[in-house]
Structure 1
Amino acid sequence: MARHRRERGIFRELLGWLVYILIIIGLTYLIITYVGQRTRVSGQSMETTLSDGDNLIVDKLTYHFKDPERFDIIVFPYKYEENTYYIKRIIGMPGETIQIMGGYVYINGQQLTSDIYGAEVMQSAGIAAEPITLGPDEYFVLGDNRNHSTDSREPNVGVLHREDLLGRAWVRIYPFDKIGVIRHE
Protein backbone atom coordinates (compact mmCIF):
# COMPACT_ATOMS: atom_id res chain seq x y z
CA MET A 1 0.00 0.00 0.00
CA ALA A 2 2.79 2.46 0.85
CA ARG A 3 4.54 1.54 -2.39
CA HIS A 4 1.37 2.25 -4.39
CA ARG A 5 0.92 5.59 -2.63
CA ARG A 6 4.56 6.53 -3.30
CA GLU A 7 4.19 5.64 -7.03
CA ARG A 8 1.06 7.83 -7.25
CA GLY A 9 3.00 10.69 -5.61
CA ILE A 10 5.81 10.35 -8.14
CA PHE A 11 3.30 10.16 -10.99
CA ARG A 12 1.54 13.29 -9.72
CA GLU A 13 4.87 15.11 -9.39
CA LEU A 14 5.86 14.16 -12.97
CA LEU A 15 2.45 15.17 -14.27
CA GLY A 16 2.76 18.51 -12.49
CA TRP A 17 6.17 19.12 -14.09
CA LEU A 18 4.83 18.12 -17.51
CA VAL A 19 1.92 20.56 -17.20
CA TYR A 20 4.34 23.27 -16.04
CA ILE A 21 6.66 22.67 -19.04
CA LEU A 22 3.71 22.70 -21.46
CA ILE A 23 2.49 26.01 -20.03
CA ILE A 24 5.99 27.52 -20.42
CA ILE A 25 6.19 26.29 -24.03
CA GLY A 26 2.71 27.67 -24.77
CA LEU A 27 3.51 31.08 -23.24
CA THR A 28 6.81 31.21 -25.13
CA TYR A 29 5.00 30.49 -28.40
CA LEU A 30 2.44 33.22 -27.72
CA ILE A 31 5.11 35.76 -26.83
CA ILE A 32 7.24 34.97 -29.90
CA THR A 33 4.22 35.00 -32.21
CA TYR A 34 2.35 38.04 -30.94
CA VAL A 35 4.55 40.10 -28.63
CA GLY A 36 8.22 39.85 -29.56
CA GLN A 37 10.68 38.17 -31.85
CA ARG A 38 14.44 37.78 -31.74
CA THR A 39 16.36 39.00 -34.77
CA ARG A 40 20.02 39.44 -35.63
CA VAL A 41 21.53 42.48 -37.34
CA SER A 42 23.47 41.48 -40.42
CA GLY A 43 25.57 44.10 -42.14
CA GLN A 44 26.54 47.69 -41.48
CA SER A 45 23.48 49.59 -42.73
CA MET A 46 22.49 50.76 -39.22
CA GLU A 47 25.97 51.69 -37.94
CA THR A 48 26.62 53.32 -35.47
CA THR A 49 23.28 52.74 -33.78
CA LEU A 50 23.29 48.97 -34.35
CA SER A 51 26.23 46.80 -35.38
CA ASP A 52 26.68 43.64 -37.39
CA GLY A 53 25.98 40.68 -35.10
CA ASP A 54 23.77 42.54 -32.61
CA ASN A 55 20.85 40.43 -31.40
CA LEU A 56 17.60 42.26 -30.76
CA ILE A 57 14.11 41.66 -29.51
CA VAL A 58 11.51 43.17 -31.82
CA ASP A 59 8.36 44.56 -30.18
CA LYS A 60 5.48 43.28 -32.33
CA LEU A 61 2.74 44.63 -30.06
CA THR A 62 3.21 48.43 -29.89
CA TYR A 63 2.03 49.21 -33.43
CA HIS A 64 -1.32 47.55 -32.68
CA PHE A 65 -1.99 50.39 -30.23
CA LYS A 66 -0.11 53.38 -31.60
CA ASP A 67 1.16 54.66 -34.92
CA PRO A 68 4.82 54.43 -35.90
CA GLU A 69 6.75 57.66 -35.40
CA ARG A 70 9.54 59.37 -37.31
CA PHE A 71 12.95 57.95 -36.37
CA ASP A 72 11.52 54.66 -35.01
CA ILE A 73 13.82 51.75 -35.84
CA ILE A 74 11.61 49.16 -37.47
CA VAL A 75 11.94 45.61 -38.78
CA PHE A 76 10.20 44.42 -41.95
CA PRO A 77 10.44 41.36 -44.19
CA TYR A 78 12.37 41.69 -47.43
CA LYS A 79 9.87 40.95 -50.20
CA TYR A 80 12.19 38.98 -52.43
CA GLU A 81 13.83 36.58 -49.99
CA GLU A 82 11.99 34.39 -47.50
CA ASN A 83 13.04 34.64 -43.83
CA THR A 84 15.07 37.79 -44.50
CA TYR A 85 14.27 40.89 -42.50
CA TYR A 86 15.55 44.44 -42.87
CA ILE A 87 16.02 46.89 -40.04
CA LYS A 88 15.83 50.61 -40.88
CA ARG A 89 14.78 53.95 -39.45
CA ILE A 90 11.48 55.64 -40.39
CA ILE A 91 12.19 59.00 -42.04
CA GLY A 92 9.07 59.80 -44.09
CA MET A 93 5.56 59.62 -42.67
CA PRO A 94 2.17 59.08 -44.37
CA GLY A 95 1.07 62.00 -46.55
CA GLU A 96 4.52 63.58 -46.76
CA THR A 97 6.50 64.21 -49.93
CA ILE A 98 10.08 62.96 -49.68
CA GLN A 99 12.97 63.92 -51.92
CA ILE A 100 16.72 63.62 -51.62
CA MET A 101 18.63 66.56 -53.05
CA GLY A 102 22.33 67.29 -52.69
CA GLY A 103 22.66 64.30 -50.37
CA TYR A 104 20.05 65.52 -47.85
CA VAL A 105 16.47 64.51 -47.10
CA TYR A 106 13.72 67.03 -47.82
CA ILE A 107 10.21 66.60 -46.47
CA ASN A 108 7.50 68.69 -48.08
CA GLY A 109 10.23 70.89 -49.56
CA GLN A 110 12.02 71.53 -46.22
CA GLN A 111 15.37 69.97 -45.33
CA LEU A 112 15.09 67.48 -42.47
CA THR A 113 17.59 69.08 -40.10
CA SER A 114 16.55 67.02 -37.06
CA ASP A 115 17.96 63.88 -38.70
CA ILE A 116 21.00 63.31 -36.51
CA TYR A 117 21.34 59.66 -37.52
CA GLY A 118 22.65 59.97 -41.07
CA ALA A 119 26.29 60.75 -40.31
CA GLU A 120 27.31 61.51 -43.87
CA VAL A 121 25.96 63.15 -46.99
CA MET A 122 24.16 60.59 -49.17
CA GLN A 123 25.96 59.80 -52.40
CA SER A 124 22.89 58.30 -54.07
CA ALA A 125 19.32 59.56 -53.98
CA GLY A 126 18.03 56.49 -55.81
CA ILE A 127 14.34 56.71 -56.63
CA ALA A 128 14.03 59.63 -54.18
CA ALA A 129 15.86 61.90 -56.64
CA GLU A 130 12.32 62.66 -57.78
CA PRO A 131 9.66 63.61 -55.21
CA ILE A 132 7.84 60.64 -53.65
CA THR A 133 4.45 61.41 -52.11
CA LEU A 134 3.57 58.83 -49.47
CA GLY A 135 0.06 57.43 -49.24
CA PRO A 136 -2.03 57.33 -46.06
CA ASP A 137 -0.32 54.16 -44.79
CA GLU A 138 3.15 54.49 -46.36
CA TYR A 139 6.56 55.07 -44.79
CA PHE A 140 9.97 55.97 -46.22
CA VAL A 141 12.90 54.31 -44.43
CA LEU A 142 16.67 54.79 -44.46
CA GLY A 143 19.57 53.01 -42.80
CA ASP A 144 21.69 55.13 -40.47
CA ASN A 145 24.79 54.31 -42.50
CA ARG A 146 23.18 55.91 -45.54
CA ASN A 147 25.91 55.19 -48.10
CA HIS A 148 25.96 51.49 -47.19
CA SER A 149 22.25 50.77 -46.89
CA THR A 150 19.63 49.18 -49.12
CA ASP A 151 16.49 51.09 -48.15
CA SER A 152 13.50 53.00 -49.57
CA ARG A 153 15.77 54.66 -52.13
CA GLU A 154 16.08 51.30 -53.87
CA PRO A 155 13.21 50.03 -56.08
CA ASN A 156 13.46 46.52 -54.59
CA VAL A 157 12.61 47.97 -51.15
CA GLY A 158 10.68 51.16 -51.97
CA VAL A 159 8.15 52.66 -49.60
CA LEU A 160 6.67 50.45 -46.91
CA HIS A 161 3.01 50.01 -46.04
CA ARG A 162 1.94 49.86 -42.41
CA GLU A 163 1.09 46.18 -42.82
CA ASP A 164 4.73 45.52 -43.85
CA LEU A 165 6.08 46.60 -40.46
CA LEU A 166 6.82 43.53 -38.34
CA GLY A 167 7.59 45.66 -35.33
CA ARG A 168 9.86 48.09 -33.60
CA ALA A 169 13.40 47.29 -32.42
CA TRP A 170 13.08 47.19 -28.65
CA VAL A 171 16.00 45.64 -26.73
CA ARG A 172 19.56 44.63 -27.67
CA ILE A 173 20.30 41.31 -25.94
CA TYR A 174 23.75 40.69 -27.41
CA PRO A 175 26.61 41.58 -27.23
CA PHE A 176 26.38 41.54 -23.47
CA ASP A 177 28.32 44.76 -22.97
CA LYS A 178 25.68 46.63 -25.03
CA ILE A 179 22.52 45.08 -23.53
CA GLY A 180 19.73 47.57 -23.13
CA VAL A 181 16.65 49.25 -24.52
CA ILE A 182 17.18 50.78 -27.96
CA ARG A 183 16.59 54.53 -28.03
CA HIS A 184 14.13 55.90 -30.61
CA GLU A 185 14.24 59.67 -30.77
Structure 2
Amino acid sequence: MRRQHDATAEGAAAAQQASGRRSALWDIAETLLLALILFIAIRGVVLNYRVDGSSMEPTLHNGEMLIVNRRAYMHVRLAPLVGWIPGVDVDEDAVWYPFGPPKRGDIVVFQPPGNSAEPYVKRIIALPGEHVAIRNGAVYINGQRLIEPYLSEPTLWRGMTLDHEYVVEPGHVFVMGDNRNNSSDSRVFGAVPLASIVGKAWVTYWPPDEVQVLSTPAYAFQ
Protein backbone atom coordinates (compact mmCIF):
# COMPACT_ATOMS: atom_id res chain seq x y z
CA MET A 1 0.00 0.00 0.00
CA ARG A 2 2.84 2.36 0.85
CA ARG A 3 4.50 1.77 -2.53
CA GLN A 4 1.18 2.42 -4.26
CA HIS A 5 0.74 5.65 -2.28
CA ASP A 6 4.28 6.78 -3.16
CA ALA A 7 3.68 6.05 -6.85
CA THR A 8 0.45 8.01 -6.76
CA ALA A 9 2.18 10.95 -5.08
CA GLU A 10 5.02 10.88 -7.60
CA GLY A 11 2.52 10.82 -10.47
CA ALA A 12 0.66 13.78 -9.03
CA ALA A 13 3.92 15.70 -8.58
CA ALA A 14 4.97 14.95 -12.16
CA ALA A 15 1.59 16.07 -13.46
CA GLN A 16 1.84 19.25 -11.42
CA GLN A 17 5.33 19.95 -12.79
CA ALA A 18 4.13 19.37 -16.36
CA SER A 19 1.18 21.68 -15.75
CA GLY A 20 3.56 24.29 -14.33
CA ARG A 21 5.80 24.05 -17.38
CA ARG A 22 2.81 24.46 -19.70
CA SER A 23 1.65 27.46 -17.68
CA ALA A 24 5.12 29.03 -17.82
CA LEU A 25 5.35 28.46 -21.57
CA TRP A 26 1.90 29.98 -22.03
CA ASP A 27 2.91 33.02 -19.95
CA ILE A 28 6.01 33.47 -22.11
CA ALA A 29 3.95 33.15 -25.30
CA GLU A 30 1.44 35.72 -24.01
CA THR A 31 4.25 38.12 -23.12
CA LEU A 32 5.89 37.75 -26.53
CA LEU A 33 2.56 38.22 -28.31
CA LEU A 34 1.79 41.34 -26.28
CA ALA A 35 5.27 42.71 -27.00
CA LEU A 36 4.76 42.07 -30.73
CA ILE A 37 1.38 43.82 -30.71
CA LEU A 38 2.84 46.81 -28.84
CA PHE A 39 5.80 46.96 -31.24
CA ILE A 40 3.51 46.97 -34.29
CA ALA A 41 1.26 49.61 -32.71
CA ILE A 42 4.19 51.85 -31.79
CA ARG A 43 5.79 51.50 -35.22
CA GLY A 44 2.49 52.57 -36.71
CA VAL A 45 2.77 55.87 -34.82
CA VAL A 46 6.50 56.63 -34.63
CA LEU A 47 9.68 55.57 -36.35
CA ASN A 48 13.35 56.33 -35.92
CA TYR A 49 15.34 58.15 -38.59
CA ARG A 50 19.07 58.72 -38.97
CA VAL A 51 20.19 62.10 -40.30
CA ASP A 52 22.45 61.60 -43.30
CA GLY A 53 24.50 64.62 -44.29
CA SER A 54 24.79 68.24 -43.24
CA SER A 55 21.85 69.83 -45.07
CA MET A 56 19.97 70.62 -41.83
CA GLU A 57 22.86 72.07 -39.84
CA PRO A 58 23.02 73.75 -37.39
CA THR A 59 19.65 72.34 -36.27
CA LEU A 60 20.40 68.68 -37.07
CA HIS A 61 23.79 67.05 -37.50
CA ASN A 62 25.02 64.10 -39.50
CA GLY A 63 24.43 60.81 -37.68
CA GLU A 64 21.84 62.13 -35.22
CA MET A 65 18.86 59.89 -34.54
CA LEU A 66 15.33 61.29 -34.64
CA ILE A 67 11.93 60.09 -33.51
CA VAL A 68 9.41 60.86 -36.24
CA ASN A 69 5.67 61.14 -35.58
CA ARG A 70 3.99 59.34 -38.46
CA ARG A 71 0.48 60.42 -37.38
CA ALA A 72 1.18 64.14 -36.92
CA TYR A 73 -0.58 64.98 -40.19
CA MET A 74 -3.24 62.30 -40.09
CA HIS A 75 -6.26 63.63 -41.96
CA VAL A 76 -9.76 62.69 -43.01
CA ARG A 77 -11.57 63.66 -46.20
CA LEU A 78 -14.73 65.50 -45.23
CA ALA A 79 -16.84 64.89 -48.34
CA PRO A 80 -17.57 61.19 -47.61
CA LEU A 81 -18.36 62.02 -43.98
CA VAL A 82 -20.73 64.97 -44.26
CA GLY A 83 -21.34 65.44 -47.98
CA TRP A 84 -24.46 63.28 -47.82
CA ILE A 85 -26.17 65.59 -45.29
CA PRO A 86 -28.85 67.74 -46.99
CA GLY A 87 -27.82 71.38 -47.21
CA VAL A 88 -24.13 70.69 -46.44
CA ASP A 89 -21.88 71.68 -49.31
CA VAL A 90 -18.31 70.39 -48.89
CA ASP A 91 -15.50 70.66 -51.41
CA GLU A 92 -14.38 67.27 -52.71
CA ASP A 93 -10.79 68.00 -51.71
CA ALA A 94 -11.57 69.35 -48.22
CA VAL A 95 -9.75 67.52 -45.42
CA TRP A 96 -9.71 67.71 -41.63
CA TYR A 97 -6.47 67.40 -39.64
CA PRO A 98 -7.26 66.28 -36.05
CA PHE A 99 -3.77 67.28 -34.87
CA GLY A 100 -3.33 70.24 -37.20
CA PRO A 101 -2.08 70.53 -40.79
CA PRO A 102 1.57 70.93 -41.80
CA LYS A 103 2.88 74.31 -40.66
CA ARG A 104 5.65 76.59 -41.78
CA GLY A 105 8.78 75.68 -39.85
CA ASP A 106 7.88 72.04 -39.24
CA ILE A 107 10.80 69.68 -39.82
CA VAL A 108 9.53 66.75 -41.88
CA VAL A 109 10.81 63.46 -43.20
CA PHE A 110 9.55 62.74 -46.71
CA GLN A 111 10.12 60.61 -49.76
CA PRO A 112 11.78 62.87 -52.34
CA PRO A 113 10.88 62.87 -56.02
CA GLY A 114 12.93 60.56 -58.20
CA ASN A 115 14.48 57.22 -57.44
CA SER A 116 16.01 57.91 -54.03
CA ALA A 117 15.50 54.96 -51.71
CA GLU A 118 16.20 57.04 -48.60
CA PRO A 119 13.81 59.68 -47.22
CA TYR A 120 15.01 63.28 -46.81
CA VAL A 121 14.62 65.56 -43.81
CA LYS A 122 13.96 69.28 -44.45
CA ARG A 123 12.00 72.22 -43.08
CA ILE A 124 8.67 73.41 -44.49
CA ILE A 125 9.11 76.97 -45.74
CA ALA A 126 5.98 77.62 -47.80
CA LEU A 127 2.47 76.18 -47.81
CA PRO A 128 0.01 75.31 -50.59
CA GLY A 129 -0.89 78.26 -52.77
CA GLU A 130 1.86 80.54 -51.43
CA HIS A 131 4.21 82.52 -53.64
CA VAL A 132 7.90 81.94 -52.87
CA ALA A 133 10.65 84.26 -54.05
CA ILE A 134 14.36 84.49 -53.26
CA ARG A 135 15.79 87.98 -53.59
CA ASN A 136 19.04 89.42 -52.28
CA GLY A 137 19.75 86.31 -50.24
CA ALA A 138 16.39 86.27 -48.44
CA VAL A 139 13.17 84.24 -48.77
CA TYR A 140 9.95 86.11 -49.49
CA ILE A 141 6.50 84.61 -48.94
CA ASN A 142 3.67 86.39 -50.75
CA GLY A 143 5.88 89.46 -51.10
CA GLN A 144 6.99 89.62 -47.44
CA ARG A 145 10.48 88.79 -46.26
CA LEU A 146 10.59 85.71 -44.01
CA ILE A 147 12.88 86.11 -40.98
CA GLU A 148 14.60 82.77 -40.32
CA PRO A 149 16.60 82.86 -37.05
CA TYR A 150 18.29 79.48 -37.63
CA LEU A 151 20.14 80.55 -40.80
CA SER A 152 23.81 81.48 -40.80
CA GLU A 153 24.16 82.56 -44.45
CA PRO A 154 22.12 84.15 -47.25
CA THR A 155 19.78 81.96 -49.27
CA LEU A 156 20.67 81.33 -52.89
CA TRP A 157 18.58 79.61 -55.55
CA ARG A 158 20.30 76.45 -56.77
CA GLY A 159 23.65 77.99 -55.93
CA MET A 160 23.00 81.11 -58.05
CA THR A 161 22.46 84.70 -56.99
CA LEU A 162 19.74 85.27 -59.59
CA ASP A 163 16.23 86.07 -58.41
CA HIS A 164 13.74 83.21 -58.70
CA GLU A 165 10.07 82.73 -57.91
CA TYR A 166 7.80 79.74 -57.36
CA VAL A 167 4.09 79.20 -56.65
CA VAL A 168 3.40 76.18 -54.44
CA GLU A 169 0.82 73.86 -55.96
CA PRO A 170 -2.27 72.75 -54.00
CA GLY A 171 -1.56 69.69 -51.90
CA HIS A 172 2.20 70.45 -51.78
CA VAL A 173 4.72 72.18 -49.52
CA PHE A 174 7.98 73.94 -50.34
CA VAL A 175 10.89 72.62 -48.24
CA MET A 176 14.48 73.72 -47.71
CA GLY A 177 17.40 72.67 -45.55
CA ASP A 178 18.67 74.92 -42.75
CA ASN A 179 22.18 74.64 -44.19
CA ARG A 180 20.66 76.60 -46.98
CA ASN A 181 23.37 76.43 -49.62
CA ASN A 182 24.39 72.84 -48.99
CA SER A 183 20.97 71.28 -49.46
CA SER A 184 19.12 69.56 -52.27
CA ASP A 185 15.53 70.62 -51.70
CA SER A 186 12.51 72.25 -53.36
CA ARG A 187 14.80 74.70 -55.14
CA VAL A 188 16.03 71.65 -57.07
CA PHE A 189 13.13 69.19 -57.29
CA GLY A 190 10.12 71.44 -56.68
CA ALA A 191 7.41 71.31 -54.05
CA VAL A 192 6.78 68.06 -52.18
CA PRO A 193 3.35 66.39 -52.27
CA LEU A 194 1.75 66.13 -48.85
CA ALA A 195 1.20 62.45 -49.59
CA SER A 196 5.00 61.98 -49.73
CA ILE A 197 5.52 63.16 -46.14
CA VAL A 198 6.43 60.24 -43.88
CA GLY A 199 6.02 62.22 -40.68
CA LYS A 200 7.03 65.18 -38.54
CA ALA A 201 10.39 65.08 -36.79
CA TRP A 202 9.61 65.23 -33.08
CA VAL A 203 12.79 64.81 -31.03
CA THR A 204 16.47 63.94 -31.39
CA TYR A 205 17.50 61.17 -29.01
CA TRP A 206 21.08 60.32 -30.03
CA PRO A 207 23.78 61.22 -29.22
CA PRO A 208 22.71 61.95 -25.63
CA ASP A 209 24.32 65.40 -25.54
CA GLU A 210 22.25 66.46 -28.57
CA VAL A 211 18.82 65.48 -27.21
CA GLN A 212 16.24 68.15 -28.03
CA VAL A 213 12.56 68.59 -28.83
CA LEU A 214 12.19 69.97 -32.35
CA SER A 215 9.73 72.80 -31.89
CA THR A 216 8.28 74.89 -34.71
CA PRO A 217 9.75 78.43 -34.69
CA ALA A 218 7.61 81.54 -34.44
CA TYR A 219 8.25 83.47 -37.65
CA ALA A 220 8.20 87.17 -38.32
CA PHE A 221 7.78 88.93 -41.66
CA GLN A 222 9.15 92.22 -42.91
The TM-score normalised by the length of structure 2 is 0.76
Which deviates more, 145-154 or 125-134?
Answer: 125-134
CA distance in 2: counterparts of 1:55 and 1:117, whole angstroms: 20
Question: 2:110·2:120 contact (CA, 8 Å) conserved in 1?
Answer: yes
Aligned residues: 181
* Aligned partner of 1:43 among 20, 39, 53: 53
Question: 1:126·1:154 contact (CA, 8 Å) conserved in 2?
Answer: no
CA distance in 2: counterparts of 1:124 and 1:163, whole angstroms: 25
* Aligned partner of 2:149 among 112, 116, 125: 116
CA distance in 1: counterparts of 2:116 and 2:34, whole angstroms: 30
Structure 2 spans left out of the alignment, 5+ residues:
1-11, 75-97, 218-222
Structure 1 spans left out of the alignment, 5+ residues:
none
Cα distance, 1:94 vs. partner?
1.3
Matches within 5 A, 1:101-112: 101-112=135-146
CA distance in 2: counterparts of 1:169 and 1:19, whole angstroms: 33
CA RMSD between the two structures: 1.8
Cα distance, 1:87 vs. partner?
0.4
- 2:22 equivalent in structure 1: 11
1:140-165 CA-partner distances (Å, limit 9, x unpaired):
0110000111110003xx10121111
- 2:174 equivalent in structure 1: 140
SS in 2 for 1:45: coil
Of the two, which has the highest radius of gyration? 2
One-letter amino acid of the counterpart of residue 122, structure 1: T
Cα distance, 1:96 vs. partner?
0.6
- 1:170 equivalent in structure 2: 202
CA distance in 2: counterparts of 1:123 and 1:137, whole angstroms: 25
Matches within 5 A, 1:13-162: 13-32=24-43, 34-64=44-74, 65=98, 66-113=100-147, 115-125=148-158, 129-155=163-189, 158-162=190-194
**Structure 1 vs Structure 2: percent identity of aligned residues?**
36
Cα distance, 1:183 vs. partner?
2.2
CA distance in 1: counterparts of 2:167 and 2:177, whole angstroms: 20
One-letter amino acid of the counterpart of residue 123, structure 1: L
Question: 2:135·2:163 contact (CA, 8 Å) conserved in 1?
Answer: yes
